[in-house]
Structure 1
Amino acid sequence: MTLKTLSRLLMISSAIGFAFFLSCKAGKTEIDSEKAWKRADKIISEIVVPEFPDRTFNVADYGAKADGSTNNSEAFKKAIAACNGAGGGMVLVPAGKYLTGPIHLKSNVNFHLAEGAEILFSKEKSDYLPMVHTSYEGVELMNYSPLIYAFEQENIAVTGKGTFNGQANNGNWWPWSGADRYGFKEGMQEQKNEHNLPRLRKMNEEGTPVAERTFGEGHQLRPTFFEPFGCENVLVKGVTFTNAPFWVMHPIKSNNVTVDGVTVRSHGPNNDGCDPEYSKNVHIKNCLFDTGDDCIAIKSGRNNDGRRVAIPSENIVVENCVMKDGHGGVVMGSEISAGVRNVFVRNCQMDSPNLDRAIRIKTNTLRGGFVENVYVKDVQVGQVKEAVLKINTYYGIYANQEGEYIPTIKNIYMENVQVENGGEYGILIKGREQSPVENVNFTNVTIKSTETPLSVENCEPIKFINTTINGQKY
């Protein structure tokens, strides 16, 4: 039995076990909070964290130069190949500045940055060719390589106290977003041009094979920063990411992912901190997110692509993290067509006048999908701009966001949540008449101040236990 098969069997048994303690009475779901959080602990205990042989491959021995100007792509490639060929170990990057193109990880390799090491990623777009199988906003395609990439590998890690600097600012990748504040100027090519996103969207609608969805040179779709694609047993620990072209950490179709003690300081366009997509058994802990978009955004494909792949993102635990800045603290969507289930968030701090929402679920009838079994506990919120909890089934930043796929959202639990300033809304929910939001629960929640305590459409009555908003008990 392969490791991948064993992992999938374990996940199936975990899902069965999880469903066992959810009991339905008269169509309503009831849950024992203590059992739910024991389930979170069980998920964590079952995640395989990779370990590596005690062998070190110093990139300097393969020709790497820490001068900030020599391109070290070949030296890094040789060190990774040697490590992989020997059966695994650590590829060590000593202190200093190292320029490189994309880094492609192989099985059983721990790519380790020593304290004082900084990786500077090349600004030459041609360095990120040939194209690789990747994804853009929930749609698979052939495009520029992510800055750090692994495809169908096992037991990989990126660790250490150093910094990965994507150098996407200052006129590099960011202008392709089309936003003036990121360097876009009239006459430049950008992602919304017909040969970019509209072309990719059409390929998604028509079911074009991924191998034929070729972009890369001559197109303006930015690569992700760190992307393990179809990988087993992934660890990201201790490092700092900054100046990302696009999403920062994007585990896609991957199982057993641990993100521990990572710092993300990246305020570029679409600079989400961590976006698990079609991924299972994910543990995000002890991290600082200071981002230009969502801190954590859980995804599962956009529209037809999500329905084609049909792998929900599930069994995701977020704990002991600080969400300093970003559009949302923990978000599900909007690329969510294959669904999301079993998300646990505990012991986190969220506090910024620029942080729009603490917990957010966003979809529409083109995306469809489902969100179920979301648990939030022991969270401190200083201030958010729009809402503490926002659920929106009419999400759309583009035109024509209505379709035939009615989303379902149910079993949302918030417990022991303390909020100083809830912004415009304490709770903002827009469900669908055909499929109202079900079973939203607030227990021991205090929102000291907010402009509008509740704005709720097409949702079952929210269950309040010992909850106070603007001094009023609910």
Structure 2
Amino acid sequence: MILKGKKEEIMRQIKVPVFPDRRFDVTRFGADSGGKTDSTAAFQQAIDEAHQKGGGRVTVPKGVFLTGALRLKSNVELHVTKDAVIRFSQNPADYLPAVLTRFEGVELYNYSPLIYAYEAENIAITGGGMLDGQADDRHWWPWKRGTNGQPSQEKDRDALFEMAERNVPVEERRFGTGHYLRPNFIQPYRCKNVFIQGVTVMNSPMWQIHPVLCENVTVDGVKVIGHGPNTDGVDPESCKSMIIKNCLFDNGDDCIAIKSGRNADGRRINVPSENIVIENNEMKDGHGGVTIGSEISGGVKNVFAEGNLMDSPNLDRALRIKTNSVRGGVLKNIYFYHNVVKSLKQEVIAIDMEYEEGDAGEFKPVVRGIEVDELKSAGGRYGIRVLAYDHSPVTGLKVTNSEINDVNIPMELKNVKDPVFSNLYINGKRYDSPEQ
């Protein structure tokens, strides 16, 4: 099978980095395992020394450690042992100086992600321990809407987006102190050979695992938990060759959201997300299980989601594609195979070009080649819902050998050209041709 072969080719190309057999225990550098004093300097010194000596494993032993922003460097594995907890500071000042990052698909200088790497190769975060961002209803999360007497991000967000539309140089997009754009948790930026395995990541200020412009990324066996605003689980953005497998997601936003930049800034960088495999994950709460968009102006292609289990009455959608004519982008070759949805709130399959701004821009989105096979689901408002434009209909939509049960509305198809339904059952009724 051609599609199966493409997925296997992607998986063969992705290699897990190997590190020199050197050990750097953070307590040897003065880190406090009792969790009473700040250990940022000790952690960073261990990482820097490992890097300077040609690489190795920086080990976090049993205990509780307090730290601010950490910067991973080439050939360094941060290994958080099973009984170790790293608690990240709730003080925004501990994430300065500002670094080059992205906020909702737009480049800027902002608070550092909690764990950051820039133009590094062969980096890893491993082990069975916990990374706790400590965001909550009093720290970081209130910036979303200005709750609990704290400022809102709205003014800064609008200013950043306006700068991007005017093509203000990124060097001049300076935020951080006195501004309220939340950082993400783990962000390798322009990195190659990234491996994240086994850890629990929880309570991020915002998106939790967010590789940007990276190549050859593996996220394996990670638990990603957080119910704050915009606490997506894994957000590959403009990344090439990535596997997300064997993970548990329980999030306040999308479990997995594939992105490629927002609007003018996404078109300026113009790097798609491509060759992404999503398999054998468990997804609980979230806006979407597997989501494409909405910051998708650079496009996406070749996404394979297979063998995933979704089960929560608080999960809104199983497969969600969201874009519009302000975002634009070409979204193609999305394969959703052999997935099981045990409970759901809204749409099982959703393709939405009316998202947010709707048809208000000049950048026609293209959505084609969306294939769903061997899907079994229960619950939800819609089985299949497509809201596309008459000037840009969805093409190549194919749903086969699937059972969608207990939905209120089997289908709503707006501007879909020649969809193929075969051996598709919705609420027990067989569909071999569209009802529009």
- TM-score interval, smaller chain: over 0.9
Identify which of 299, 303, 321 aligns with 2:259. 299
Q: What is the Cα deviation at residue 125 of structure 1?
A: 1.2
2:160 pairs with 1:200: yes
Alignment of 1:334-345 (within 5 A): 334-345=294-305
The residue number in structure 2 matching 1:54 is 21
Is structure 2 residue 412 aligned with structure 1 residue 440? no
Alignment partner, residue 434 of structure 2: none
Equivalent residue for 1:408?
Answer: 366
Per-residue deviation, residues 404-431 of structure 1 (Å, max 9, x unmatched): 001000001101111122x110000011
How big is each residue's C-alpha offset from its partner over 1:264-308, in whole Å with a ceiling of 9 and x where there is no partner?
A: 111111000000001000100000000000000000000000100
Q: Does residue 467 of the first structure (1) align with residue 433 of the second (2)? A: no
Q: Which amino acid aligns with 2:382?
A: Y
Find the aligned partners of 1:401 and 1:121 in 2 and give their Cα distance.
41
Pairing 1:364–2:324 present = yes
For 2:124, the equivalent position in structure 1 comes to 157
Equivalenced residue count is 431
> Structure 1 residue 120: deviation in Å?
0.5
Q: Which runs of 4+ in 1 moved over 4 A?
A: none
Q: Confirm whether residue 39 of structure 1 aligns to residue 6 of structure 2.
A: yes
Shift of 1:170: 4.1
Match runs of 1:280-359 below 5 Å? 280-359=240-319
**Offset of 1:313 from its aligned partner?**
0.3
In the TM superposition, residue 449 of structure 1 has moved relative to its aligned partner by 1.7
The offset of 1:401, in angstroms, is: 6.6
Counterparts of 2:162 and 2:261 in 1: how far apart (Å)?
15
Task: Quote how far apart the aligned CAs of 1:48 are.
Answer: 2.3
Partner residue, 2:152: 190
Whole-Å Cα distance in 2 between the matches of residues 460 and 246 of structure 1?
37
Query: Is residue 2:334 matched to residue 1:374?
Result: yes
What residue number does 2:50 align with?
83
Kindly indicate whether the alpha-carbon contact (under 8 Å) linking 2:324 and 2:358 is maintained by their aligned counterparts in 1.
no
Query: Could you say which residue in structure 2 is the equivalent of 1:7?
Result: none
CA-to-aligned-CA distance 1:207-246 (integer Å, 9 cap, x gap): 0111100000000000000000000000000000111100
- For 1:229 and 1:358, the matched residues in 2 are separated by 28
Q: What's 1:137 paired with? A: 104
Amino acid at match of 1:216: G
- Tell me how far apart the structure 2 counterparts of residues 223 and 283 of structure 1 sit (CA, whole Å): 24
Q: Is the aligned partner of 1:63 residue 2:25?
A: no
Matched, 1:244 2:211: no
Structure 1 unpaired stretches of 5+: 1-33
Q: CA deviation at 1:443?
A: 1.1
Deviation at 1:383, TM superposition (A): 1.6
- One-letter amino acid of the counterpart of residue 393, structure 2: P
CA distance in 2, matches of 1:170, 1:383: 28
Unaligned runs of 5+ in 2: 432-436
Per-residue deviation, 1:326? 0.3
Q: How does 1:418-429 map to 2 (within 5 A)?
A: 418-421=376-379, 423-429=380-386
Alpha-carbon distance between aligned partners in 2 of 1:157 and 1:400, rounded to the nearest angstrom: 40
Instruction: Report the AA paired with residue 36 of structure 2.
Output: S
CA-CA distance at 1:461 after TM superposition: 3.0
SS of the residue 1:300 aligns to: coil
Asked if residue 171 in structure 1 is aligned to residue 138 in structure 2, the reply is yes
Q: Secondary structure at the match of 1:306?
A: helix
More moved, 381-390 vs 224-233:
381-390
Cα separation, 2, equivalents of 1:426 and 1:400: 22
Match of 1:230 among 181, 190, 196: 190
Amino acid at match of 2:48: A
Determine whether 1:125 maps to 2:109. no
| CA distance in structure 2 between the partners assigned to 1:43 and 1:395 by the alignment | 31
Name the CA distance, whole Å, in 2 between partners of 1:307 and 1:123: 34
Rounded Cα–Cα distance in structure 1 between residues aligned with 2:272 and 2:225: 28
Alignment RMSD (CA, Å) = 1.0
Deviation of the 1:188 alpha carbon: 2.8
Between stretches 290-299 and 400-409, larger displacement belongs to 400-409
The CA distance in 2 between the partners of 1:115 and 1:47, in whole Å, is 26
User: Per-residue CA shift, 1:318-341, capped at 9, x if unaligned?
Assistant: 000001110000000000001000
**AA of the residue aligned to 1:325:** D
Q: Which residue of 2 aligns with 1:388?
A: 348
Shift of residue 203 of structure 1?
A: 0.4
Relative to the length of structure 1, the TM-score reads: 0.90
Helix, strand or coil at the partner of 2:184: coil
